[in-house]
Amino acid sequence: MSRLSAIRDALAQSPHNPSLLLLLGHACVEELQLDEATKMFDRVLDIDPDQIEAQLGIARVLLIRGDSSGAAVRVERVLQNEDECPQAHLLMSRILLSEGDRPRALDHFEKAVRIDAAVTDAGLEQELGRSGSDVRKSVASSLLPESNSSDLLPPSDLMGGDMGDDFIDEPFDEWRPETFFTPGDTERTKVNFDSVGGMEELKEEIRIKIIYPLQHPDLYKAYGRKAGGGILIFGPPGCGKTLMLRAVAGEVGCNYFAIGLHEIFDPYFGSSERNLHQIFETARSNSPCVLVFDELDSLAVDRRNVRESPMRNLVNQFLSELDGLRADQSRILVIGATNSPWNLDPAFRRPGRFDQTIFVPPPDRPARVQIIGLLAKDKPIAHLDVEALAKLTKGFTGADLKYVFDRAAELALSEAVHTNRPVPISMDLLNDIAKSYHPATEEWFEGARPHVQQSAQDGLYTDVRKFLSAPRGAKNE
């Protein structure tokens, strides 16, 4: 039974169920059944005229039909009532881009990411030439204190000041990070290790550090091991680090916190350190748990490069919090991800901190096969040859592959709208897009090269070194 038929059957049992109506509406959009999609969204609006998802669904249909001004009117109406809706800003960005208004499209995209750092739309990001992670970083740096205010700060030891005790006895307000999953949350399981192609070593390392110890406590006790620790993952952009951090939530059975930089940085003196301490306290009182920090390089900066900045105090605080976890045997796994490990303070890789480092390279061919399988799932694609596409896309990251599929879907949709009949995505179309696309990871490897050469003895770069020295044709084979 097709996905559409299955949802239609379920809806027949529960015809006024808004979630099912929305589900069918979205599935119809994917299958280009635009009339039925509109009907479903309208039925939701009959039940609740302010339902945002249904309003945006109708706007999306209008955009696909080529009525961008009709779509814009709908989205503007949503934004009048709910200016903080990231999905509405993303859709408005798409609409404006389709009308050739790139500056305003960019404004709306940035607003979406500022409201919800987790929103992504790889196709849109590619067309705008601006990634969500760029925006998140610029938001974080705009929140950083001016470095000249550092005159007011006490000097602290370059390799290990400890500010943790200042806060230990202070009571904490009830606080939760924006992304916080408890074991019972159903939302968390939507993305898990099956959603990530490749990265087998990393998946197993996470199981060893937090999943197996909770499943087999006696065994771990017998071997004198406990749950928790620190893992640093690094590699070129677009290889799935952020996706992997999210997938951990779906895979582990314990509490999970993902910390956004904006939840830490605060322009008031001492507040960022306090925020960080509060995060670790919350993690402690909810252990066992996983605590993840994406874009770690913005937080764990090398203190040699920021001698005069209040940032050093924050780095010292972070180090002392990690040491605190080790000292009190907390069952907390801390995972950090970065594109530029050379910007991290080396002290973070000392034993007991992020002592396990894992390089996430562009996916090799088997991993690309998996990623292509994931991207093709539930899409109307005719005669997909996964192996051939994987072979053709050597050097592509997961994000690059996603772009190929997103772009192919857009072109097929556009043809479908103009011919007024559903057009499946063809293998030729996927091949053509892939052939004209140039993956950007070479740039990352060129940037990494001097750091790898300067740190000849550093085990951190062993896998990068292997990758760089592999014969050209063999990379990512």
Yes or no: say if 243 and 196 are a contact pair by the CB < 8 Å rule: yes
Asked if 177 touches ligand ATP (CB under 6 A), the answer is no
Asked if 238 touches ligand ATP (CB under 6 A), the answer is yes
Of these, 282, 339, 357, 441, which contacts ligand ATP (CB under 6 A)? 339
Asked if 242 touches ligand ATP (CB under 6 A), the answer is yes
Of these, 239, 248, 409, 452, which contacts ligand ATP (CB under 6 A)? 239
Asked if 398 touches ligand ATP (CB under 6 A), the answer is yes
Yes or no: say if 275 and 195 are a contact pair by the CB < 8 Å rule: no
Specify the residue, 125 or 321, whose C-beta has the smaller distance to ligand ATP: 125
Stretch that binds ligand ATP, among 153-161, 165-173, 349-357, 398-406 (CB under 6 A): 398-406
Specify the residue, 242 or 282, whose C-beta has the smaller distance to ligand ATP: 242
Using the Cα atoms of residue 136, residue 140, residue 143 and residue 149 in order, give the sign of their dihedral. Answer: negative
Yes or no: say if 397 and 239 are a contact pair by the CB < 8 Å rule: yes
Structural tokens at position 360:
């996430």
Considering only residues 364-383, where is the footprint of ligand ATP by CB under 6 A? 371, 374
Question: Site for ligand ATP (CB under 6 A): how many residues?
Answer: 22
Q: Identify the H or E element spanning 311.
A: helix 311-327
How far CA 132 is from CA of 56, 112, 126, 236, 296, in Å, comes to: 21, 9, 10, 15, 15
Asked if 120 touches ligand ATP (CB under 6 A), the answer is yes
| 3-state SS class at 21 | helix
Of these, 57, 145, 240, 341, which contacts ligand ATP (CB under 6 A)? 240
Of these, 38, 87, 126, 133, which contacts ligand ATP (CB under 6 A)? 133
Query: Which residues partner with 234 through β-bridges?
Result: 338, 359
Structural tokens at position 52:
């945002």
Specify the residue, 213 or 362, whose C-beta has the smaller distance to ligand ATP: 362
Could you tell me the strand order of the sheet in which 255-259 lies? 179-181, 255-259, 289-293, 332-338, 229-234, 356-359
Nearest-approach distance from CB 295 to ligand ATP, in angstroms: 7
Structural tokens at position 418:
């103009």
Nearest-approach distance from CB 43 to ligand ATP, in angstroms: 31
Asked if 196 touches ligand ATP (CB under 6 A), the answer is yes
Nearest-approach distance from CB 375 to ligand ATP, in angstroms: 7
Using the Cα atoms of residue 394, residue 400, residue 402 and residue 407 in order, give the sign of their dihedral. Answer: negative
Smallest CA-to-CA distance from 268 within 307, 302, 314 is with 314
User: Beta strand pairing status for 332-338 and 289-293?
Assistant: parallel
Nearest-approach distance from CB 238 to ligand ATP, in angstroms: 5
| Residue sitting closest to ligand ATP (CB) | 398
Asked if 118 touches ligand ATP (CB under 6 A), the answer is no
Residues lying near ligand ATP in the complex (CB under 6 A) are found at 120, 122, 131, 133, 196-198, 237-243, 339, 363, 371, 374, 397-399, 402
